[in-house]
Amino acid sequence: MRFDVSISNEQIEQELANLQTKMARGRHALGNLPLMDMQFPDIEFRVRKIAREQRVYAIDTGTGLLVGYSVFDILPEGSRRLHGTVRSVHSRYAAPYQGRGIASALYTKVLSDGFVLVSGARQSRAAYALWKSLGRRMRFDVVKITPETIEPLKISERDNRFHDLDVRLQLCAP
């Protein structure tokens, strides 16, 4: 687990603008994607399934702007029997929408639907803070990912092993 991801708000906003332009027309247009059954003030969620992943797009209902997204990807490592329920997740949200609880609400919904979330090997400090916050309400573990298994580790952030790239965070519904 490393905390070396740093993407500027300008880069995120440019990526979201490019995505919105790209997804303005055609069968994968944002407006044509199915709505996710989730309530959040002034935000609607649209879902697109692509092969091994599910993308959830957050759209401001007042402006129609794409304000963020989360990607829930089937974890390539770990036990094959877990592939249906374990998802590696990453999210990006425009600066004015960060800290409003959108990702937290979305992750909570996915967890309550029976999925297990596993962090990426590399995160930003803000993503780590989100995971720790959710960990106060959900089952939160530090795990080691191998090609065959997901093993719980009884270590803290102060342990040198915590910073190995095969160490991740895991969230489960309580």
Domain ranges of the chain: 9-172
What is the reported pLDDT for 82?
58
Contact 52/84 with Cβ under 8 angstroms?
Answer: no
What is the reported pLDDT for 77?
59
Cα separation of 158 and 19, whole Å? 38
What is the reported pLDDT for 121?
85
Cα separation of 72 and 111, whole Å? 11
Tokens at 33, concatenated = 């994607």
Residue by residue, pLDDT tens for the chain (174 residues) are: 778 788 899 999 999 999 999 998 877 799 899 999 999 999 999 999 988 889 999 999 999 999 999 999 887 655 555 556 788 899 999 999 999 999 999 999 999 999 999 998 888 888 889 999 999 999 999 999 888 788 899 988 888 888 888 899 999 998
Name the CATH topology of 9-172: Aminopeptidase (3.40.630)
